A and B are shown apart, each in its own frame.
Chain A
């Protein structure tokens, strides 16, 4: 059945099963990606028929743009804080909802809820919370820290993005850690208990080492997601105040579609791709080495 010999037979099988999905994949991913690479080295914007080779000029323009460099550093800071907080909280939540208490499925559902709703809507919800509710609480309780909107202060606006990012993703990563925790053989934990290991020792010596796969996946996903975050950024802070919370994704979008700088914009987008790809590959490789068998 699977031994087509003639070319015609092979073409038939291919067009039957593989042509349409591969055509869509090529048209939507491969071609724009290849053209994107061309764009970063030329002055071509996809419109004109003439192309001039510009070498690394677009990249030079990108790196000499102080707004881009600032955006790069804000993004790195954002990724770092979101990565750590999301995974610590998600792991904690997973421990909590696998402890065997009453209603743990209900709690799982609750913690996961933000992941059902798109970033645009989540950002608007929190815009209301930060600009109205928290300010109101600050006034009523007379707390200096909350009495003016965090969204109007460059330092605090950054933290609103982190808070919403962590709130949103931790429920998703919790599910990954639940999968990891339930995959640990019960017999191992019982044996440890008999040997007199405390709960804390069981956690550090048995659960964590056996869950490296879950950590690898969760850290990978958090990295990937937080590097390209756009929608919450758009609806919560819109990059403000004074472009202080303009994450890379928004910076690239504005550069291309607001200011029409296609070449440098695409170079910036490509830098984003290189960063994401490099970090993701290094992270997965490094963590694979830590994995142990039960």
Chain B
């Protein structure tokens, strides 16, 4: 008897908890519609740029929503050549890849050093790195330009890459530091006893364990460096050194009224990032998500 009542009561209490399935379904549809509208709002600027990149100036002025009369790549060819897209792409690629690699290599080593060697000054170093993260770049740029300009160091990709190491090292080291703290050091000691050098212990034993945080840092830094404008605009003076954001800026400035070509230039500038996003979407969302709460 006792048993029987409990089986009767249970589905009842469940029914009380759960809203009616039909109501639930309607709510789902409303949420979905709302999200879709918002999605369109977030994406429509991009869509309009793509749409108009195939059109002639007059068509754009008359109706920015009309479909292109004929599918012509003329705007793209012109923008591609005038903004010297291949060179800008290679510059961006070199700068981003080298910067991100050296940030990862040196920040992980610095963080390892700060965690494992408990010297008194290491607390101070970590504190300085963390404290520096609050300094906006604007507070550094004037002395930076005058000093580096006087030393004749501006106008070089390699100076820029060095700068990215200097600016990127604090956040990366801080993130690695939090991660390495939780790694037990027994493995390292075993390798050390087996005759591995300090560097070997780090690269063969520790660094592979840092993979998740390395991916997070790489993604945050790629997005930052690839898209950065202000620092490269101060360091890279020659046209031949321009990155994609820089060449887009100069192209747009010169051809503001050539809407079709300007739109094509924007699409060209966006394509590499979108390809990167489509290939790495999971890691990017996860990387940014984890990076933001560290």
Q: Can you pick out 19 interface pairs between chain A and chain B where the beta carbons lie within 8 Å of each other?
A: A1-B198, A2-B117, A16-B199, A20-B165, A25-B169, A32-B141, A47-B150, A102-B32, A115-B288, A116-B227, A117-B270, A121-B270, A132-B60, A136-B64, A167-B42, A179-B293, A235-B252, A249-B136, A269-B142
Q: Which of B45-53, B71-79, B80-88 contacts A (4 or more CB under 8 A)?
A: B45-53
A-side interface residues, number (CB < 8 Å): 96
What CA separation (Å) do A108 and B289 show in the bound complex?
11
Assess the B65–A228 pair: CB atoms within 8 A: no
Query: Chain B's interface: helix, strand, loop or mixed, by majority?
Result: helix
Residue-wise interface mask of B (43-63) relative to A, using a CB-CB cutoff of 8 A (1 in contact, 0 not) = 101101100100000001101
Asked if A107 meets B60 with Cβ closer than 8 Å, knowing A221-B292, A228-B136, the reply is: no
- CB-CB under 8 A from B273, the residues of chain A are 116-117
What CA separation (Å) do A292 and B163 show in the bound complex?
40
Partner of A33, one of B60, B135, B150, B230: B135
- CB-CB under 8 A from B32, the residues of chain A are 101-103
A24: interface (CB < 8 Å): yes
Asked if A276 meets B48 with Cβ closer than 8 Å, knowing A21-B169, A21-B173, the reply is: no
Assess the A2–B118 pair: CB atoms within 8 A: yes
- CB-CB under 8 A from B48, the residues of chain A are 128-129, 133
A73: interface (CB < 8 Å): no
Assess the A97–B35 pair: CB atoms within 8 A: yes
- CB-CB under 8 A from A91, the residues of chain B are none
Assess the B147–A93 pair: CB atoms within 8 A: no
Assess the A113–B134 pair: CB atoms within 8 A: no
- CB-CB under 8 A from A14, the residues of chain B are 113
Q: Which single residue of chain A is at the shortest CB-CB distance from B107?
A: A21
- CB-CB under 8 A from B204, the residues of chain A are none
Assess the B269–A121 pair: CB atoms within 8 A: yes
Assess the B116–A217 pair: CB atoms within 8 A: no
Partner of A114, one of B42, B52, B228: B42
In chain B, residues 83-128, which have Cβ atoms closer than 8 Å to a Cβ of chain A?
A: 106-107, 109-110, 112-114, 116-119, 125, 128
- CB-CB under 8 A from B207, the residues of chain A are none
Assess the A176–B245 pair: CB atoms within 8 A: no
Partner of B140, one of A1, A33, A171: A33
- CB-CB under 8 A from A101, the residues of chain B are 28, 31-32, 35
Assess the A28–B138 pair: CB atoms within 8 A: no
B264: interface (CB < 8 Å): no
